[in-house]
């Protein structure tokens, strides 16, 4: 019989953002938790297994099984354990591709990201906050439209706990944006600074860029307004999941397969985004 390891995530009332300690200007851009329970993502099947009382998110079948793990009673959002099959992802943007690999030390953050990616949650979202020599931030469903006022406040409708590990946040790190301890949702950032020691221990570092830092650098160089919002749209067209055997540079054939995997072409997604 397969053992099941359940990681629980209390569903919190989504509150306003507070700033982590550290460099005021740079850390202020990392607020990433939703401010309310309005789910901007239209594909409600992501949360279809939640019943309407108290909520717990559980992750089944992880690489560290422990059937004795105590669960809270209540409803559950069940995240499929995609990390048992995939350990990398290709983030396709209108600025180029970014390939990342995931860390096993953060199974909840990794599986949350993968499940959202597989559902198409990130398709059409933008990198809505860019700070030169610091980071680029994306993953907010509110960023799909042309209203910049609520960018940085959206998420999947739940928050989950931190998974702090030994990986330092440095250039190329992929980490969860948050508004304080245990407030992770869907927003993430990629570090462009060589080292950010003031962030270590405050943000879940769940992966790193293995190809495409030139794309990250191109995004980092865009013109922004006084709120660090890019003046042009940096669109995440799709995110495709890759297994460890896919350890090669992706050519046109593989990119077409990933488009089919996501169920829409990048051109179609960009068009639907503009219309919405």
Domain ranges of the chain: 9-275
Burial pattern 8-45, b for ≥16 Cβ within 10 A else e, equals bbebbebeebeebebeeebbbbbbbbbbeeebbbeeee
DSSP annotation of 200: T
Active site residue 189: yes
Q: Give this prediction's pTM.
A: 0.69
CB 128 within 8 A of CB 140: yes
In the chain, which residue ranges form alpha helices assigned H by DSSP? 24-27, 107-119, 213-220, 252-262, 266-275
Helix (H, G, I), strand (E, B) or coil at 189: strand
Q: Which of these is catalytic: 88, 111, 123, 178?
A: 178
Q: Which of these is catalytic: 5, 188, 189, 206?
A: 189
Q: Which residues of the chain have pLDDT under 70?
A: 1-76, 244-276
Q: Which of these is catalytic: 167, 203, 205, 229?
A: 203
Q: Which of these is catalytic: 169, 199, 242, 258?
A: 199
**Element (DSSP H or E) covering residue 246:** none
Active site residue 203: yes
Would you state the pLDDT for residue 243? Answer: 87
Spatial separation of the C-alpha atoms in residues 271 and 276, rounded to whole Å: 9
Would you state the pLDDT for residue 259? Answer: 54
For the chain, list the strands marked E by DSSP. 9-10, 55-59, 75-79, 88-93, 96-102, 129-131, 135-138, 173-176, 188-191, 205-211, 236-242
Q: Which of these is catalytic: 31, 92, 129, 171?
A: 129
Burial of residue 164 (CB within 10 Å: 0-12, 13-18, 19+) is middle
Q: Is 9-275 assigned to CATH 3.20.20.70?
A: no
Would you state the pLDDT for residue 72? Answer: 40
CB 110 within 8 A of CB 207: yes
Would you state the pLDDT for residue 234? Answer: 98
Would you state the pLDDT for residue 105? Answer: 96
Active site residue 199: yes
Spatial separation of the C-alpha atoms in residues 105 and 197, rounded to whole Å: 19
DSSP annotation of 20: P
Spatial separation of the C-alpha atoms in residues 47 and 255, rounded to whole Å: 29
Nearest to 105 by CA among 17, 23, 24, 174: 174
Active site residue 134: yes
Q: Which of these is catalytic: 112, 137, 142, 262?
A: 137
Across the beta sheet with 75-79, what order do the strands follow? 9-10, 55-59, 75-79
Q: Which of these is catalytic: 5, 113, 121, 134?
A: 134
Structure tokens at 217: 């650098």
Would you state the pLDDT for residue 71? Answer: 40
Residue holding tokens 């462009």?
192
């Amino acid at each position: 019989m397969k053992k099941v390891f359940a990681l629980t995530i209390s569903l919190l009332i989504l509150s306003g953002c507070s700033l982590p300690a550290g460099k005021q200007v740079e850390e202020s851009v990392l607020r990433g938790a939703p401010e309310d329970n309005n789910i901007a993502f239209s594909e409600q099947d992501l949360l279809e297994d939640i019943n309407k009382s108290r909520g717990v998110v559980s992750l089944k079948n992880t690489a560290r099984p422990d059937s004795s793990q105590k669960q809270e009673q209540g409803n559950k959002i069940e995240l499929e354990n995609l990390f048992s099959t995939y350990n990398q992802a290709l983030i396709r943007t209108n600025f180029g591709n970014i390939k990342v690999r995931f860390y096993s030390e953060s199974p909840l953050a990794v599986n949350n990201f993968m499940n959202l990616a597989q559902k198409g949650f990130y398709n059409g979202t933008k990198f809505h906050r860019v700070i030169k020599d610091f980071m680029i931030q994306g993953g907010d469903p509110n960023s799909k439209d042309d209203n910049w006022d609520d960018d940085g406040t959206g998420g999947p409708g739940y928050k989950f706990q931190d998974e702090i590990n030994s990986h330092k946040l440095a250039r190329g790190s992929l980490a969860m944006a948050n508004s304080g301890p245990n407030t992770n949702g869907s927003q993430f950032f990629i570090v462009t600074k060589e080292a950010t020691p003031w962030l270590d221990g405050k943000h879940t570092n769940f992966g790193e860029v293995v190809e495409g830092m030139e794309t990250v650098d191109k995004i980092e160089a865009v013109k922004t307004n006084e709120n660090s919002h890019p003046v042009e749209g940096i669109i995440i067209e799709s995110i495709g999941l890759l297994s460890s055997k896919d350890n090669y540079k992706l050519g046109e054939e593989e990119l077409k397969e990933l488009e089919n995997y996501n169920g829409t072409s990048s051109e179609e997604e960009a068009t639907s985004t503009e219309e919405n």
